[in-house]
Amino acid sequence: MARLYGLIGRTLGHSFSAGYFARKFAADAALSDCEYRNFELPTIDRLPQMLAENPSLCGLNVTIPYKREVFAYLDDIDKEAREIGAVNCVKLVDNKLIGYNTDVDGIRASLDALIGGARPATLLLGTGGASQAVQYVLAERGIEYAIVSRDPMRGNMTYEQINEQVLSEVGLVINATPVGTFPNVDEAPEIPYALLNESHSLFDLVYNPPVTRFLAWGANRGAQTMNGQMMLESQAERAWAIWNE
């Protein structure tokens, strides 16, 4: 029987995963029986029906906006994913769904490449499932961070509160929101880019386009930048390992 894998989310036209796994399967004859599909779900309560219609499913990736909503459908959750509060990888075993978080693997790899062992104070933009994974890794590394949200009840500060003093005290700004993702490539998080300089590093979890306005405007001010490509590849390989353990 063919082995089927896939991605669930609400809007998947921009997705990296299907192409990545298609290339992976095409490059290895031992994986010729594998297939990867996108499963757009208008609401998470469509998940049981989708699973029933695809009995050969072995594993799923989970993206916006279901990284937290999927918890209600899982039979078990990996300890790390439970602590993070978000799941982006599901393994199907004997009709049971087990949740994991592989975003953290990608975030670790990306931070290693961008800042090495440094521990710069950080501004984290966003409060969703991806932000929760970033928070976990920052805490793991002993990095102090402040969460920026449009909703003053959900973060440590709002975008309007980011000023020269705030940016003078941080060395890393992470965009964990979908702002700037294709097709909305003219958008960018509303931070004062003119106050950035060569002492700052910018990490954007967005990967399409490869250079978002967030990164381009930071680079123009001398900041070091990294997009979400390494994160995606690292988390995808970790998901593949989990599905095949």
How many whole angstroms from its chain centre is CA 12?
14
Whether cis (ω within 30° of 0) applies to the bond prior to 183 is yes
Within 8 A by CB and 6+ apart from 119, the residues are 141, 142, 143, 144
Active site residue 96: no
For the four alpha carbons of 149, 152, 196 and 184, in that order, the dihedral sign comes to: positive
Angle 191-9-212 from CA coordinates, rounded to 5°: 30
Pairing of strands 145-148, 122-125: parallel
Q: What are phi and psi of 28, to 5 degrees?
A: -135, 115
Token pair belonging to 163: 């000023």
Active-site entry in 24, 67, 79, 91: 67
Sheet holding 224-226, edge to edge: 145-148, 122-125, 172-175, 201-204, 224-226
Question: What whole-number distance in Å separates Cα of residue 132 and Cα of residue 47?
Answer: 23
CA distances 104 to 4, 56, 79, 119, 135, Å, are 24, 27, 13, 17, 9
Would you name the residues annotated as active-site residues? 67
